[in-house]
Amino acid sequence: MTLDVNEDVGSALMKFENSDLWNILVVDKGKYAGFISRSNMLSYYRKILKKSATLF
């Protein structure tokens, strides 16, 4: 399972949900770019939701 650097947050969340993985390899043009963890992704997502909720 890999995640391209250009994929959006929704795509990443779906990959985590469908795979039950806690870390996913991130690639840029097929080459290693790093890893993203489920916990970091969910923290980021919660931060976005919290920020958007304060706008209303």
Determine the 3-state secondary structure of 52 from DSSP: helix
Fold type of domain 2-54: CBS domain Like (3.90.1280)
- Summarised one tens digit per residue, pLDDT across range 5-50 is 999 988 998 999 999 899 999 999 999 999 999 999 889 888 888 8
pTM for the model stands at 0.74
